[in-house]
Amino acid sequence: MRCVRVWFKKMGMSRYVSHLDLMRAMTRALRRAKVPLWYTEGYNPHPYITFALPLSLGMESLCESMDMRIEGDSTNEEIFSMLKDNMPPGIEIINVSEPVFDPKKIVYGEFDILFDCKNNAEYVAELVKDILSKDELIVQKLGKKGRHKVLKDINLIEFIKEYTVSHYGERVKLSIILPAGSSTNINPSLLADEIKKRVEDTSYTLIRKRLLTENLEQFS
Amino acid sequence: MISKDVEKILPLVQKPGRYTGGELNSIVKDKNMIALRYAFCFPDSYEIGMSHLGIKILYSAANKRDDVWCERVFAPWTDMEKEMRERKIPLYALESGDSLTDFDLIGFTLQYELSYTNILNMLDLAGIPVRAQDRTSLTPIIVGGGPCACNPEPIADFFDLFMFGDGEEVSDELFDLLIACKKENTSKYEFLKRASQIKGVYVPSMYEVEYNDDKTIKSVTASDNAPEKVTKRIISDLNTVHYPDKFIVPFIEVVHDRVVHEILRGCIRGCRFCQAGFLYRPIREKSPDTINAQCKALCESTGYDEISLSSLSTSDYSHLEELMEKLLSWTEDYKVNIALPSLRVDNFSEKLMGYLKKVRRSGLTFAPEAGTQRLRDAINKNVTEEELMNTARQAFSGGWTAVKLYFMLGLPTETYDDVAGIADLAQKVVNEFYRNPDKPKGKGVQVSISVSSFVPKPFTPFQWEAQDTMEELINKQNHLLSSVKTKKINVSYHKVNISFLEGVFARGDRRLSDVIEYAWRHGCKFDSWDDNFLFDVWLEAFEKCGVDPLFYSSRKRDYNEILPWDHLDYGIRKEFLIKESEKAYKNETTPHCKIKCAGCGTNMLNGGKCDALCKSMV
């Protein structure tokens, strides 16, 4: 038995698959692919599968990873070729590798926020730069206080590690590094919604591009 | 592919995975190469509809044809509907994302009476007039099928035609006809006239209903050469009929997320309350080899880890042991669990229980249906207390500690002693647990009893009965609750007003169309969902339309009365039903079909053949 890390993209309509549903969908895909899964030995045998960091519903991603335990001596390349044609639509296997970092080491995420702008992309890009250059951008975030869920005011600017703003055609792209992981997690939609409020008639899509460790090393 | 407009609202609604389409094994064709576009509609939520076996079979059968593209449509949940209406997005099919108006044929499966308002709502969401007479062009043609089609009169005004019985073959013939009529550019009337000549097709507009002064039916007259009696269709051999080798695998969790296999159609038992037991006759069994091969193909194409062997009474399947041996030869390696729903207490063997335990232990559910032997005899359940206790004992010594029992309240001839008998029976099951010397250490027992309210249904021996009123049902529920003396038994029961409404529509006639339309126009939809059920609006609808609901639900009919479904022929002889009804009042049972043919008459639909009969003669 050994552990492998499977890397995949979650794009298109599959972004509406919730974390729990993704677990089920992937388990079925692994079964279709006849991957030699290791099953737990208890009362109710099940494969041992974990995901590095749950992805919000509606967000696309280029950097999802799933750890699983397999039996036998299949190589990573063999596992890759078993999996690649058995994925549900929208999920694409990129690579199979040995896990390097523990998922607990994930501290940051790099995201692209893409705004659709009719004919004022340049203006929107300036607006975004302006918003982010201020010292404060207060939004309400659902947090926990003991066992209760409460809305907390947070200053988003404090959490931004890096960002760049660019525009092309009818689109504005904000690439941004925000805390992601088990201790602090800032959903980029908080920022995207705040910007959307200030721009008339726009919509946005979100893509998670990379997960990073404390030292901004790529999670692998 | 869903449209950009739909994509924009997906982040705003609950469980957007219901509305995206594009699931594994869903079928996309080039619409320019298609002669007929068919929208298969399930008038309830995606999670319910995607669990239904019929849609999987008929979807796959229709798409086998190169000239037909069948797509799926479900009722959007109320939050999605709101967004769609606000943005004027029409109801669309999941495969193409095209509006329902782009389809030639729109089929609704009629699984339960309380989905009727959803049908109107779905048509309206696509901008299609709900009444058949207001749709004048050839397409779209709106059709219905499924169990509730056996009395389609309450919704007859909304549909162009209904199909009776097994749908696999009759839909094919309907496709051919509609394709031909489209080519010839005929009128809708011409299409319907020709359709009425297809066996199993009922065109309600070609039947005129007249009423007596006492509101009962005086006569039903066919016109335009339509047959006086429309006979249901059956598939003669289940081994050769199409069965899908792929199921669509939903992204999101649905109610029954597993491989389902239909091992037999029909039921040998003849329980007098059970409509399905009569509607799906005659008995036709599938061979163990066919089932085994199809199950394996389905597990491989879907990745599911559970197979459910489905039928009305799975333990009555003649080759169950052979089938289980075949399946278990590979399912253990595949880590696939086998579920056997619909087991009976009178033939639940130790061997069968061993099979169930092999992969994963699931719950055990039995349906004695009534609390006393007298009432079980009257409804012809043919289960004795001793058999139930034997089964309970076996289950408990096999390590089970929870058992679920199904009962009904409001059965014909029921008394309060019969109601208290339900609690007694459950108590005896509890006692049986403690009597067992090998009972698991340190564990208690949990007996759950689930009590539904009896609704008299067409084509059963109880089709003439008065349904208990809501007051009577509530009194009986309370009597049952006060008869239960221990926390080891927990009782759950159905809302009586939902059963009442079901009772009205099950045996209703065409005068109910107005009521349904009124209720829908005043906000009724998803009526089978407690949160959405607007009973006051329904009562208002009956009043405004001048219809007394008790006339349909709680009136005892005379055997001579013309019933709204008398011109529909499901192969069951009326004399047989009358005989069964009379026996019920004498607490007399009828042996099941393998012991002795009771002469229901449905084997005549299959050239005299019935798999129950063949077996008894061997």
Q: What digits encode the pLDDT tens for the residues A56-100?
A: 999 999 999 999 999 999 999 999 999 999 999 999 999 999 999
**What is the arithmetic mean of pLDDT over A100-119?**
92
Q: What does each C-alpha distance from B58 to A63, B19, B51, B169 come to in angstroms?
A: 39, 21, 14, 10
Q: Supply B328's token pair.
A: 């278990």
Q: Which residues pair with A70 in a beta bridge?
A: A2, A37
CB contact under 8 A, A30 and B249: no
Q: Looking at CA atoms only, how far is residue B395 from chain A in angstroms?
A: 18
Query: Contact B272/B461 with Cβ under 8 angstroms?
Result: yes
Distance between CA atoms of residues A209 and A118, nearest Å: 25
- Are B382 and B481 in a shared domain? yes
Q: What does each C-alpha distance from B437 to B361, B388, B397 come to in angstroms?
A: 21, 18, 8
Q: Supply B319's token pair.
A: 């080759």
- Are B315 and B430 in a shared domain? yes
Distance between CA atoms of residues A65 and A21, nearest Å: 15
Q: Looking at CA atoms only, how far is residue B249 from chain A in angstroms?
A: 8
Q: What does each C-alpha distance from B521 to B95, B130, B216, B514, B540 come to in angstroms?
A: 29, 11, 27, 10, 12
Kindly state whether residue B238 falls inside one of the protein's structural domains.
no
The number of folded domains in chain B is: 2
What stretch of H or E contains B210? strand B207-211
Q: Looking at CA atoms only, how far is residue B253 from chain A in angstroms?
A: 6
Query: Contact B341/B308 with Cβ under 8 angstroms?
Result: yes
B331: CATH: 3.80.30.20
CB contact under 8 A, A17 and B252: yes
> Kind of pairing, strands A138-145 and A148-155?
antiparallel
Chunked into runs of 10 residues, chain B (618 residues) has average pLDDT values of 88 93 94 96 97 95 97 97 96 97 98 96 98 97 97 98 94 97 97 97 97 96 96 93 93 90 92 95 93 95 92 88 92 85 70 65 80 96 90 83 92 96 95 82 86 97 97 96 93 93 97 98 94 95 97 96 97 96 96 92 90 59
Q: Looking at CA atoms only, how far is residue A161 from chain B in angstroms?
A: 27
Of B212, B231, B250, the residue that ends a domain is B231
Q: What are phi and psi of B10, to 5 degrees?
A: -60, -40
Which one-letter amino acid corresponds to residue B432?
E
- Are B102 and B154 in a shared domain? yes
**Which residues from A are below 8 Å from B245, CB to CB?**
none
- Are B39 and B174 in a shared domain? yes
Kindly state whether residue B201 falls inside one of the protein's structural domains.
yes
Kindly state whether residue B20 falls inside one of the protein's structural domains.
yes
Residue A205 near chain B (CB below 8 Å): no
Position A203 confidence tier, pLDDT thresholds 50, 70, 90? confident
Residue numbers of A between 145 and 204 with CB closer than 8 Å to B = 203
Angle CA B283–B288–B294, to nearest 5? 105
- Which residues belong to CATH 3.30.2350.10 in chain A? 104-213
- Are B291 and B227 in a shared domain? no
**Nearest beta carbon to residue A16 from set B10, B303, B335:** B10
- Are B269 and B123 in a shared domain? no
**Which residues from A are below 8 Å from B20, CB to CB?**
13, 16
Query: Contact B528/B498 with Cβ under 8 angstroms?
Result: yes
**Nearest beta carbon to residue B20 from set A13, A31, A32:** A13
**What is the arithmetic mean of pLDDT over A184-198?**
90
Closest C-alpha among B262, B315, B311 to residue B290:
B262
Q: Which residues fall within 8 angstroms of residue A67, CB to CB, at 6 or more apart?
A: A3, A4, A5, A6, A49, A50, A51, A52, A99, A103
Q: What is the pLDDT of residue B616?
A: 43
**Which residues from B are below 8 Å from A13, CB to CB?**
2, 20-22
Kindly state whether residue B551 falls inside one of the protein's structural domains.
no
Kindly state whether residue B92 falls inside one of the protein's structural domains.
yes
Burial of B102 (0-12, 13-18, 19+ CB in 10 A): middle
Range of the domain at B105: 4-231
Q: B155-164, pLDDT tens digit by residue?
A: 999 999 999 9
Of B194, B215, B231, the residue that ends a domain is B231
**Which residues from A are below 8 Å from B23, CB to CB?**
88-89
CB contact under 8 A, A44 and B304: no
Smallest CA–CA distance from A204 into chain B, residue: B8
Q: Does the bond joining B140 to the residue before it have cis omega, within 30 degrees of 0?
A: yes
Which one-letter amino acid corresponds to residue B485?
K
- Are B204 and B281 in a shared domain? no
CB contact under 8 A, B249 and A88: yes
Three-state secondary structure readout of chain A:
CEEEEEEEEECHHHHHCCHHHHHHHHHHHHHHCCCCECECCCCCCCECEEECCCCCCCCEEEEEEEEEEECCCCCHHHHHHHHCCCCCCCEEEEEEECCCCCHHHEEEEEEEEEEECCCCHHHHHHHHHHHHHCCCCEEEEEEEECCEEEEEEEEHHHHCCEEEEEEECCEEEEEEEEECCCCCCCCHHHHHHHHHHHCCCCEEEEEEEEEEECCCCECC
Q: A147-187, pLDDT tens digit by residue?
A: 788 888 889 899 999 999 999 888 999 999 999 988 888 99
Query: What ipTM does this complex have?
Result: 0.85
A2-99 CATH: 3.30.70.580
- Are B104 and B153 in a shared domain? yes
Q: For residue B557, how far is the Cα from the chain centroid?
A: 25
- Are B357 and B321 in a shared domain? yes
Q: In terms of DSSP H, where are the helices of B408-469?
A: 416-435
Kindly state whether residue B324 falls inside one of the protein's structural domains.
yes
Closest C-alpha among B314, B325, B318, B331 to residue B259:
B331
**Which residues from A are below 8 Å from B16, CB to CB?**
16, 57-58
Kindly state whether residue B371 falls inside one of the protein's structural domains.
yes
**DSSP 8-state secondary structure symbol assigned to residue B174:** H
CB contact under 8 A, A17 and B251: yes
B106: CATH: 3.40.50.280
Residue B210 near chain A (CB below 8 Å): no
Q: For residue A26, how far is the Cα from the chain centroid?
A: 16
Distance between CA atoms of residues B91 and B75, nearest Å: 9
Q: Supply B335's token pair.
A: 């880590």
**Nearest beta carbon to residue A32 from set B10, B16, B303:** B303
- Are B273 and B168 in a shared domain? no
Distance between CA atoms of residues B524 and B534, nearest Å: 6
Kindly state whether residue B386 falls inside one of the protein's structural domains.
yes
Distance between CA atoms of residues B306 and B339, nearest Å: 7
Range A104-213: architecture per CATH:
2-Layer Sandwich (3.30)
Q: What does each C-alpha distance from B161 to B110, B138, B152, B180, B181 come to in angstroms?
A: 13, 13, 10, 17, 16
